[in-house]
Amino acid sequence: MASETMSYREALRAGLEEALNQDPRVFLMGEDVGRYGGCYAVSKGLLAQFGAERIIDTPLCESGFVGVGIGAALGGMRPIVEVMTVNFSLLAMDQIVNTAATLRHMSGGQFHVPLVIRMACGAGRQLAAQHSHSWENFYAHIPGLKVLSPATHSDARYMLGQALADPNPVLIFEHVMLLNEPGTVPDKPDAPMETALIRRPGTDISLITYGGNLPKALTAAEQLQQDGISAEVVDLRCLRPLDKPTLLNSVRKTHRAVLIDEGWQTGSLAGEISAIIMEDGFWSLDAPVRRVCSAEVPIPYPRHLEQAALPQVEQIVTTAKAVMEGR
């Protein structure tokens, strides 16, 4: 199979380019996606290539332009709306939650919203609290939405196309710490977007994670291997709907689980997954499920405190060992 090496950012751009080339109904809309070249330079060059009719710079009005995206989708277009970061999507949350997610149901199935919303997410760049929080969990809470978290270059490249093919509003979260990373992109997607994947097989413990924390979990798994612990790494990929069978099968095989989630532990997605394991996999467990989440504090600016607040490889390793030892 032919594969290509590129940065995560370039993989995202390749996905956008393909989408724009394939379907004239597709357009990209958001703050500074055009002339500025995209807040994180993902859409750099697309304005020159596709023109201002299809690469649309909007004013600063998240609620407005996301809502307009919903309307355009209703009207038969295939909008890709970029919200600079998930932090600013809170201003558009009403449109996403009260309108995009509910229209199909409230209209008795008459209308649907084939909209894709892309947002950068994640901490690690010392941008302080208002630019660093992980709100994926908010959206994963909402029936009617699909929530994707591309952690690999392959997913960065192909999940957009899969999302556009889906008739529902789909949110894609792109972790900012992945953008510059080089990686390989195969010539076709790894799996359908709603499937969780085993990124590293193992037999002793399941490390379940998604997005920006997948590389950390993989590194942790390697370190655990050196201590004779075989960790399986599960990449959720899709945070709503969750692929329960894949994650439960993994736990049934390893009998132990550690969940890694950049959100705060209280009310986290990790909490939900833990409950799923408890409800449907309790009898296969050899130890309580443990979670590695962000510290319960707005993310601080100084590097040492920011890093201390976020899930780290060392913490994953220590937690996994504690679970192995029944502590």
Partner 1 sequence: MTSRLHINRAHLLRQLKQMLRIRRFEEKCAELYALEKIRGFLHLYIGEEAIAVGVMSVLSADDQVVATYREHGHALARGVSMGSVLSEMYGRTTGCSRGRGGSMHLFDRATHFYGGNAIVGGGLPLATGLALANKKMQRTALTACFFGEGAVAEGEFHESLNLAALWQLPVLFICENNNYAMGTALTLSESETNIARKADSYGIAAAQVDGMNVVDVEAATLEATEYIHTQQKPYLLECKTYRFRGHSSFDSQLYREKEEVALWEEKGPVRQLVQWMRNNSHLLDSELDDIEKDVDKEIQAAVRFAEAGEWEPVEDLSRDVYSPRQTHR
Ligand X SMILES: Cc1ncc(C[n+]2csc(CCOP(=O)(O)OP(=O)(O)O)c2C)c(N)n1
131 Cβ neighbours under 8 A, 6+ residues apart: 85, 87, 125
**Angstrom distance (rounded) from CA 69 to CA 99:** 11
CB of 48 to partner 1, least distance (A): 10
Residues binding ligand X: number (CB under 6 A): 6
Q: From the CB of 70, what's the least distance to partner 1, in Å? A: 16
Based on CB atoms, which residue is closest to partner 1, 304 or 325?
304
Task: Mark the segment that binds partner 1 (CB under 8 A) among 18-26, 27-35, 153-161, 247-255.
Answer: 27-35
Tell whether residue 84 is a contact of ligand X (CB under 6 A): yes
By CB under 8 A, is residue 130 in contact with partner 1?
yes
- Both structure tokens of 60: 């600063």
**Pairwise CA distance, residues 196 & 139, whole Å:** 18
Q: Does 71 bind partner 1 (CB under 8 A)?
A: no
The Cα–Cα gap between 141 and 147 comes to 10
Instruction: Give, to the nearest 10 degrees, the angle between helix 214-226 and helix 313-324.
Output: 50
Site for partner 1 in 50-69 (CB under 8 A): 57-64
Nearer of residues 91 and 198 to ligand X, judged by Cβ: 91
36 binds, among ligand X, partner 1, none (CB under 5 to 8 A by kind): partner 1
What track of x and - describes contact with ligand X for positions 118 through 147 (by CB under 6 A)?
------------------------------
Only one of the segments 98-106, 114-122, 155-163, 299-307 lies at the binding site for partner 1 (rule: CB under 8 A); that segment is: 299-307
* 36 touches partner 1 (CB under 8 A): yes
Indicate which single residue of 68, 74, 91, 285 sits in contact with ligand X (rule: CB under 6 A).
91
Per-residue contact track with ligand X, 42 to 71, x per CB under 6 A? Answer: ------------------x-x---------
Q: Which of 62, 232, 262, 306 is catalytic?
A: 62
Q: Which stretch binds ligand X (CB under 6 A): 84-92, 200-208, 259-267, 308-316?
A: 84-92
* CA 50, 51, 52, 57 torsion-angle sign: positive
User: Which residue, 87 or 246, is less far from partner 1 as judged by CB?
Assistant: 87
Whether 131 is a known active-site residue: answer yes
31 in contact with ligand X (CB under 6 A): yes
- Cα separation values, 107 from 70, 143, 282, 308, Å: 15, 15, 39, 47
Question: Nearest approach, Cβ of 39 to partner 1 (angstroms)?
Answer: 7
Determine contact, residues 274/244, Cβ cutoff 8 Å.
no
Q: Whose Cβ is closer to ligand X: residue 60's or residue 275's?
A: 60
- Residues with Cβ within 8 Å of 270's Cβ and at least 6 positions away in sequence, in order, are 259, 260, 261, 263, 291, 292, 293
Catalytic residues: 62, 131
